[in-house]
Amino acid sequence: MISTNKATKTAGVLFLTAMVSSLVGDGMIESAKHQSILLAGAILEAINAVSVLGIGILLFPVLKKVWKSAAFAYLGFRSVEALVCLSAAILPQLGLINAANLRSFHTGTLIPLFFCGGALIFYTVLFKYRLLPHFISIWGWIGVLLIIYLNVYQPQGEETMLFALPIILNEIFMGIWLIMKGFNLKIKIIKP
C-alpha cells in the first residue's frame, strides 16, 4: 500500500501532467492538419484521462479519512471525467461524420460538468478540513465558478481564455504545493 505522503506527491505530479497534456493535446487536436498531429494530440489527451483517474484514486484514501461521502463523490466525478476525456481523445480517430460535434459536446459540456462537480467537492473538503491553506481553496472555487460561467454563457473571443486561466494556474500551483509540502494531516479529523 502506498504511503499518504507518496500518494499526495504523486497526485501533485498528476495534477501537473493532466494540465499540460490536456492543454497541449487539445490544442493539437483542434489545429491538426495531419493525421500524425491528431494522433499525438489524442495520446496526450489519453494521458490526461489516466492522470485525472489517478488523482481521484490516489487522493481517495486521504479524503476518506476526513469526509467519507465526499471522498466517494470526488472519486466518482473524477472517474466519469476520465472516461469522458478518453472518449474525447478517441472520437477524432474514429472518422465518424459527426465526430467533431461529439468531441465538442464532450469537451464543451461533459468534461467541464464533471470537472466542476469534482472540483467543488475537492475544494470544499480542502477548505473545511484545512488540508491546504484556505487561499488555495478559495482560488479554486473562483476558478471553478469562472469555468461554469464560461460554459453556461459561452462568451466569444480571445478573452475566453481569461476565464480558464485562474483554474489552470490554481491546479499548477496546487500540484507544485502537493509535491513540495503535501497536505496538512496534523489536524483533528472529525468524520461527518
- Domain annotation covers residue 188: no
- Domain annotation covers residue 49: yes
Q: pTM for this structure? A: 0.93
- Domain annotation covers residue 185: no
The span from the CA of 169 to the CA of 113, in Å, is 19
| Res 99: pLDDT | 80
When pLDDT is averaged across residues 116-141 and rounded to a whole number, the result is 97
Domain count for the chain: 1
- Domain annotation covers residue 46: yes
Q: Which of 89, 59, 86 is nearest to 72 (CA)?
A: 59
Query: Which residue in the block uniquely carries the three cell numbers 465538442?
Result: 104
pLDDT in tens, 52-91: 999 999 999 999 999 999 999 999 999 999 999 999 999 8
pLDDT(6) > 70:
yes
- Domain annotation covers residue 192: no
Contacts of residue 64, Cβ cutoff 8 Å, sequence gap at least 6: 71, 72
Residue 21: give the domain boundaries: 4-180
- Confidence class for position 189, pLDDT limits 50, 70, 90: low
pLDDT in tens, 41-55: 999 999 999 999 999
**Radius of gyration for the alpha carbons in the chain, expressed in angstroms and rounded:** 17
| Res 40: pLDDT | 94
The span from the CA of 134 to the CA of 168, in Å, is 18
- Domain annotation covers residue 109: yes
| Residue 63 grid coordinates | 479524503
Q: What phi, psi does 134 have (nearest 5°)?
A: -55, -35
